Structure 1
Amino acid sequence: MASLGELERAVMDLLWAGHEAATANTLRDKLATTTEAKGDAAGHAGKELAVTTVLTVLSRLEKKGLVERERGTRPHRYQAVSSREEHTAELMHEVLGSAPDREAVLAQFIGSVTEGEAETLRKLLGHV
């Protein structure tokens, strides 16, 4: 799975938070608002983000399989293909799958979690 650039991540954060399809204009407006609030969070503070830039980012995200476009409406609306949690789990599984020694990686991971996270893991594994 391809990594996300800063602006791609910001767009995905908005789509995941919104839980519904959004147009490029809506996303551009929300990016402008969140960028002002965070003070250069996406590296675009003080600049007007063009809708064509957002459309380019959405096109890249679509090619990566992270968003889908509703083609039956104009302007097109975009939504995340999966939830943030599903996406993160897929990334974790991909990284784990690329490790030559999965057990060692899991041991390192488990050794780094907090006691609360370890308890959550025990509960979740109890349901598997």
Structure 2
Amino acid sequence: MRRLGELEAEIMDRLWRWRRPSTVRDIVDDINRTRPVAYTTVMTVANILHAKGWLLREEKEGRAWLYVPVRTREEYVAALMEDALGASEDRPVALAHFIGRMAPAELAALRKALRAAGKHADT
């Protein structure tokens, strides 16, 4: 999976945080609080994200589409992690190095996820 571009990531970040269908106007107005961006630029990138399968057009609000993410932020991050592991010639060693950098709370969450995955595999 290719990493999102800068503006793609800004758009997705807002939609993931807001957790509600949003128009391009909503996104533009929010980005413009920190830096200028043209409506047409955001509309073009939203169309690209839709074509790539990242955004779903739910319905129209007036003449504007309401966009929602197809995947969660966590699913996106998991796919990036999978790709990063795939870049190694020795996935178990790369995974061991990754785990070695985890904080205790992250290790506890990993153990819990592994137990849940084991239970799921047993059924």
TM-score in same-fold range (> 0.5): yes
Are residue 50 (structure 1) and residue 38 (structure 2) matched?
yes
Identical aligned residues as a percent: 41
Are residue 5 (structure 1) and residue 5 (structure 2) matched?
yes
**C-alpha RMSD of the superposition:** 1.6
Structure 2 segments unaligned to the other structure (5+ residues): 118-123
Aligned counterpart in structure 1 of residue 94 of structure 2, from 90, 105, 115: 105
Matched letter for residue 8 of structure 2: E
TM-score, length of structure 1 as denominator length: 0.79
Secondary structure at the residue paired with 2:64? coil
Tell me if the contact between 2:3 and 2:80 (Cα under 8 Å) persists in the aligned partners.
no
For 1:122 and 1:3, the matched residues in 2 are separated by 27
Structure 1 segments unaligned to the other structure (5+ residues): 36-44
TM-superposed CA distance for 1:19, in Å, is 1.1
TM-superposed CA distance for 1:100, in Å, is 2.4
Tell me if the contact between 2:55 and 2:69 (Cα under 8 Å) persists in the aligned partners.
yes
Secondary structure at the residue paired with 1:126? helix
TM-score, length of structure 2 as denominator length: 0.82
Tell me the matched-pair count: 115
Q: How does 1:1-128 map to 2 (within 5 A)?
A: 1-33=1-33, 35=34, 45=35, 47=36, 49-70=37-58, 72-73=59-60, 74-128=63-117
Matched letter for residue 58 of structure 1: A
For 1:3 and 1:90, the matched residues in 2 are separated by 10
